[in-house]
Amino acid sequence: MKITGLLLALSISALNTFAGEFIHPGGLHTQADLNRMKTKVAASEHPWIDGWNLLIQDRKAQSDYKAAPHRHMASRQRAQDDANAAYLNTLRWIISGDTAHADCAARILNDWATTVSEVPHGNDQPGLSGIPIGTFAIAAELLRSYSGWNAPDQAAFKSMLLEYMYPVCHDFLENHNGTPDAHYWANWDTCNMRAIMAIGVFCDDQEKFDEAVEYFKHGRGMGSIENAVPFLYPDGLGQWQESGRDQAHVMGGQGLLAEMCQIAWNQGLDLFSYADNRLLAGAEYTAKYNLWQDVPYTYYNNSHEARQCYISENYHGRLDASHFELLYNHYVVLKGMNAPFVQRFAELRRPEPGEIDVLGYGSLVYTLDAAKSPLMPEPPKTPIDVVAEAGMERIELEWAPAAACNAHGYEVSRATSERGPYASIYSTTRWTTPKYTDTDVEAGKTYFYQITALNHAGKSAPSETVTATPSAGGRLPTQWKAKNIGDADAEGKDSYSEAAGHTFRIAVSGRDVGGKEDRCHFVYTPAEGDFTLTARLIERTGRLFKTGLMMREGKGADEPAAAVTLGEIGNRQCRFFYRTVEGANMQNQRGNDYTWIPVWLRIQRVGNTFTASQSSDGIHWFEVGSSTIEMSGKYLVGLVAAEGKNENEEPAFVTFDHVTLE
Residue 14 in this model has a pLDDT that exceeds 70: no
Q: Cβ contacts of residue 58 below 8 Å, gap of 6+? A: 88, 354
Query: For the stretch 424-438, what's the b/e string if a residue is b when 16 or more beta carbons lie within 10 angstroms of its beta carbon?
Result: eebebeebbbbebbb
CA distance 429 to 233: 31
The whole-number pLDDT of residue 33 equals 98
647 pLDDT tier (thresholds 50, 70, 90): low
In this structure, CATH architecture of domain 481-661: Sandwich (2.60)
Q: What is the pLDDT of residue 32?
A: 98
In this predicted structure, the answer to whether residue 2 has a pLDDT above a threshold of 50 is: no
Is pTM, for the whole model, over 0.85? yes
The H or E element containing residue 229 is none
SS3 assignment, position 6: helix
Q: For residue 349, what is the DSSP state?
A: H
> pLDDT digits over 328-356, tens only?
999 999 999 999 999 999 999 999 999 98
Residue range 568-582: mean pLDDT, rounded: 93
pLDDT confidence bin for 211, thresholds 50/70/90: very high
Task: Please check the confidence at residue 588 and state whether its pLDDT lies above 90.
Answer: yes
Strand order in the sheet with 394-398: 387-391, 394-398, 435-438
Closest CA to 383 of 365, 404, 414, 359: 404
DSSP string, 540-600: EES--SEEEEEEESSSSTTS-EEEEEEESGGG-EEEEEEE-STTPPPEEEE--TT--SSEE
pLDDT digits (tens, 9 = 90+) for 59-115: 999 999 999 999 999 999 999 999 999 999 999 999 999 999 999 999 999 999 999
Instruction: Please determine, for residue 47, whether its predicted confidence score (pLDDT) is greater than 90.
Output: yes
Assess whether pLDDT exceeds 70 at residue 646: no
Over residues 447-460, the mean pLDDT reads 96
User: pLDDT value at position 573?
Assistant: 93
Counting residues of the chain whose pLDDT is more than 70, the rounded percentage is: 96
pLDDT of residue 570: 84
Whether 240 and 286 have beta carbons less than 8 Å apart is answered as yes
Measured distance CA(198)–CA(192) in Å, rounded:
10
Q: Is the pLDDT of residue 7 over 70?
A: no
CA distance 641 to 279: 43
- Please state, in angstroms and rounded to a whole number, the distance separating the CA atoms of residues 154 and 175: 30
Q: Is the pLDDT of residue 4 over 50?
A: no
- E strand or H helix at 448: strand 447-455
Superfamily of the domain at 387-468: Immunoglobulins (2.60.40.10)
Residue 214 has pLDDT above 80, yes or no: yes
Domain ranges in the chain? 5-372, 387-468, 481-661
CATH architecture designation of domain 5-372: Alpha/alpha barrel (1.50)
Does residue 141 surpass a pLDDT of 70?
Answer: yes
- 10 Å CB burial of residue 562 (0-12, 13-18, 19+) is buried
The pLDDT value given to residue 489? 78
- Whether 37 contacts 90, CB under 8 Å: no
- CB-based burial label for 157 (10 Å; 0-12, 13-18, 19+): buried
Asked if the model's pLDDT at residue 370 lies above 80, the reply is yes
* Dihedral angle sign, alpha carbons of residues 407, 348, 55, 286: positive
- Distance, in Å, from the CA atom of 171 to the CA atom of 127, rounded to the nearest integer, reads 9
